[in-house]
Chain A
Amino acid sequence: MKDYPKDLKVVYRHFLIHPQVATIPAHAACAAQKQGKFEQMYHLLFEKGYNAGRNFSQENIDKLAGEVGLKMDKFKADMEGDCPKEVQQDMQLMQQFGVSGTPAFFINGRFMSGGGPPERFKPLIEEELKKANERIGQEGTTVANYYDKWVLEKGKKRM
């Protein structure tokens, strides 16, 4: 991300392989997103939840939500309301594209599985960046509509 401050966007989709551990924090991240605080909550859930002995107790989750500055009534209502369904929808969506583990990535629609250092992603990012630079300015392609035109319109709709 740091190497491409202007050119990268990361979109997050939930995919639960370890539901016994990951369900509550997924709902919490989803509820934080509804108050525009996904990124802050995402980092806190890893730093002070996962890295603190996988402490995803409701007490700790509430504490983290407080640190982020969420409105607690809405946060709790979303965690129990829409979020479980939305997390499930994310999973179903990603399964359509053949995802079966985490982390998994689609870089301008091209699949890459597993984590690793940023260098591992660079070749594919560079390749896609080069293609985008060649296409932008042609056939009505702009930076703003690039993903729609070249990934959503031309890409395969499922695996």
Chain B
Amino acid sequence: MMQPMMRMGLFLLSALGLLLPGCEREDTKLAGKLDQIIKQNDDILDQLKKGGGPGRGGRGDRPQRPRPSPSQVYAVPIEGAAWTGNEQAKVTIVESFEFA
């Protein structure tokens, strides 16, 4: 009576022994996948912090419009335009504006 039981026990133990290394392999694979996901997540967060990313449809794709230099003097005409303040002033501000 005991012998078939023992045989069955031994069989189960051997099967478990065969499965365990398989589980370890699965764990290693999962850990690798998890590392990969974490890295991708970090990359996405980095791109978001930078305001998008080249080639991903973010702001990095748009060429920056050249802007006037604040140290340069530009000869912006004022004739014919509406104005307020003192007609003969030492400082003239030209304001580009809209009602929006």
Contact pattern, B 70-100, Cβ under 8 Å of A = 1, otherwise 0: 1111111110011111111111111111111
Q: Does A17 contact B (CB under 8 A)?
A: yes
Chain B residues engaging chain A, CB cutoff 8 angstroms: 65-78, 81-100
Structural contact, B97 and A97, CB atoms closer than 8 A = no
Scan A89-128; emit 1 where CB is below 8 A from any B CB, else 0: 0100110011110111111111111000000010011001
- Chain B's nearest CB lies how many Å from the CB of A62? 16
Task: Write out the residue numbers on chain A whose beta carbons fall within 8 Å of the beta carbon of B83.
Answer: 9-12
A7 partner, pick from B66, B81, B86, beta carbons under 8 A: B86
| Alpha-carbon separation in the docked complex, A99 to B85 (Å) | 23
- A50 to B66 CA separation, bound complex (whole angstroms): 30
How many CB-defined contacts (below 8 Å) exist between A and B?
192
The range of chain A's interface size is 35 or more
B93/A26 in contact, CB under 8 A = no
Residue among B68, B77, B97 making CB contact with A14, cutoff 8 Å: B97
Do A104 and B86 contact each other (CB < 8 Å), given the known contacts A98-B68, A154-B73?
no
User: Is the CB–CB distance between B66 and A156 below 8 Å?
Assistant: no
New contact pairs (5) apart from A10-B85, A156-B74, CB-CB < 8 Å = A1-B84, A112-B70, A128-B90, A147-B78, A155-B76
Contact B67 A13 (CB under 8 A): no
Contacts of B95 in A (CB 8 A): 10-13, 103-105
